[in-house]
Structure 1
Amino acid sequence: MRIAFTAKGTDAESMMDPRFGRTEFILIFDEEKNEYTSFDNREIDGVAHGAGPQTAQKLFELKPDVLLTGNGPGGNAATALSQADIKIYTGAGSMKVAEAYEAYKQGKLTEF
């Protein structure tokens, strides 16, 4: 399974980014390979409108099975993501990536 995280850094010790559309990084944890890869999403800060759908598009390209985030996507991004087969879990905004992963595995996050 591939799990995506909205994060403020590029590794498991990074803090989660509670935002979806304007998250600084998207981390992907591949459980089969037991490795993280990251995508730098900071260029989205220069976008006036449509950050959520643009980040959703990048997520489609990265092909995760699950997204862990803080507050969840906004309306337009949520609509776009609902058409993909990506399960979204919220409530991880104040955690480190590794803590969010453990909270997800223990069923402590909220399905969006």
Structure 2
Amino acid sequence: MKIAVTSQGRELDSQVDPRFGRAAYILIVDSETMAFEVLDNRENVNSLKGAGIQAAADVHNKGAAVLLTGFCGPNAFKTLNAAGVKVANDASGTVREAVQAFLDGKLTFADKENVEGNW
């Protein structure tokens, strides 16, 4: 399964970025092999609006089934939900630790956003 994780850096040992749409990077991690691809999301960081929607489209286009992040706003959440991407908020630690926590059942899927837009 492909798992998208918001990240402050380009490596599995980078810290999870608590922001979704404005995260510097999003790592797309294969849960079986831990191989990963880096999405450079810096174009969205300073976007006036629509950052979450664009990041959600990018995650979906890369085939991720799950997103691990700290906070996901309403527009991004709706876009991800419509695309069939499940969201687990409150992820923390490194990207590697967040993926392992998800695989261990320590992160649960959200049923709605957990922050207002433009965070």
- CA displacement 1:54-89 (0-9 Å, x = unmatched): 111111211101111112x21111111111121111
Q: In structure 1, what is the equivalent of residue 41 of structure 2?
A: 41
Cα distance change of structure 1 residues 24 and 90 upon mapping to structure 2, 3 Å threshold: same
State the TM-score, normalizing by the size of structure 2: 0.86
Deviation at 1:34, TM superposition (A): 3.6
Structure 1 unaligned blocks of 5 or more: none
Q: In structure 2, what is the equivalent of residue 75 of structure 1?
A: 74
Answer with 53-62 or 11-20: which moved more.
Answer: 53-62
Q: In structure 2, what is the equivalent of residue 109 of structure 1?
A: 107
Does structure 1 conserve the Cα–Cα contact (< 8 Å) formed by 2:31 and 2:99? no
Deviation at 1:105, TM superposition (A): 1.2
Query: 1:44 and 1:13 mapped to 2: Cα distance?
Result: 22
Query: 1:100 and 1:33 mapped to 2: Cα distance?
Result: 15
Please state if 1:6 is matched with 2:6.
yes
Provide the alpha-carbon RMSD of the alignment: 1.3
State the TM-score, normalizing by the size of structure 1: 0.90
Q: In structure 2, what is the equivalent of residue 55 of structure 1?
A: 55
Deviation at 1:16, TM superposition (A): 0.1
Query: 1:33 and 1:98 mapped to 2: Cα distance?
Result: 12
Hey, which of these two has a bigger chunk of strand by percent?
1
Deviation at 1:23, TM superposition (A): 0.8
Structure 2 unaligned blocks of 5 or more: 111-119
Deviation at 1:17, TM superposition (A): 0.4
4+ long deviations beyond 6 Å: none
Does structure 2 conserve the Cα–Cα contact (< 8 Å) formed by 1:91 and 1:110? no
Cα distance change of structure 1 residues 105 and 33 upon mapping to structure 2, 3 Å threshold: closer
Deviation at 1:45, TM superposition (A): 2.1
